[in-house]
Amino acid sequence: MTPSPIPPLAEFLRWIAEMPAAFRGEPGKGGGVRVRAVVADLMETVAGEAPGGPALAPFATTGSVQDRNRLRWVLAACHLLWHPSLRGRRIPATALLKFLVQDLAAVAAVANADGLATEEERREELTRRALGAAGLRLPGETKDTAETRLNQVDSIERRRLIATAAEKQRRARALQEELRRQAAEEAASKASSE
C-alpha cells in the first residue's frame, strides 16, 4: 500500500484544532486518558512494533503539573501522528520515541499544551517537530525552508531569545548604573578638590 501524500500545513493545523476531547483531557490516573496505551497503539501502527514496558515507562504520570503538561503534548502528538496521511508510513521506533520522550519534554518545559487549542503557532510547531522526527516535510518545502520556519515558531528558541534579551538589558542597566556611580564619584572628588 502506497502512503497518501503529505497534505499541506493547513490540514494538519485543522486536524490538531479538531482533536477529540479525550486527547485534550487529563492524562493518567483517576479515569484520565491512559497515555501509555495510546503511545503503545501508535507505536504499533506507525513504527510497526509493539513497545515493551521499559519503552512505555516515560508515559506514566507522576501527577505533577509539569508532568501532566508534558503528557498532554504527547497525547496531541499521538493524535497528529494518527493523521491518515501518516498512518501508512513506517516511522522508526527510535525516532518516534525520541520525539515523544525528549523533544516534547523540552517543548512542554516552556509551553503550555493549552496553547494547542488557541495558538496556531503551537499547532504548527507540533506539526513541524513531528514531521521532522518522521523524516518528512510539508509539500513544496526544502529542508532549509522547513528548519527556518520551525525556528520562527519554536517555543524553546523563543524562550532562549527572551532570556538572552533580558540578560542583555540587565547588563546594560548595571553598566549605566556603574557609569552614573563613577560620574557621581568624579563630581564629588572634583568638588572637594576645589
Percent of the chain surpassing pLDDT 70: 94
How many angstroms separate the CA atoms of 139 and 126, rounded? 17
Give me the chain's average pLDDT, please. Answer: 87
Confidence of residue 122 (pLDDT cuts 50, 70, 90): very high
Residues 88-99, mean pLDDT to the nearest whole number: 89
For residues 20, 24, 26 and 31, what is the CA-based torsion angle, rounded to 10 degrees? 0
Query: How is 3-33 classified by DSSP, letter by letter?
Result: PPPPPPHHHHHHHHHT--HHHHS-BSTTT-B
Out of 25-29, 74-78, 149-153, which region has the weakest mean confidence (pLDDT)?
A: 25-29
Pairwise pLDDT comparison (160 vs 128), residue with the higher score: 128
Percent of the chain surpassing pLDDT 90: 53
Q: Residue 1 above 60 pLDDT?
A: no
Residues 45-72, mean pLDDT to the nearest whole number: 88
What pLDDT, on a 0 to 100 scale, did the predictor assign at position 89? Answer: 84
Yes or no: say if 126 and 16 are a contact pair by the CB < 8 Å rule.
yes
What pLDDT, on a 0 to 100 scale, did the predictor assign at position 30? Answer: 64
How many angstroms separate the CA atoms of 136 and 121, rounded? 19
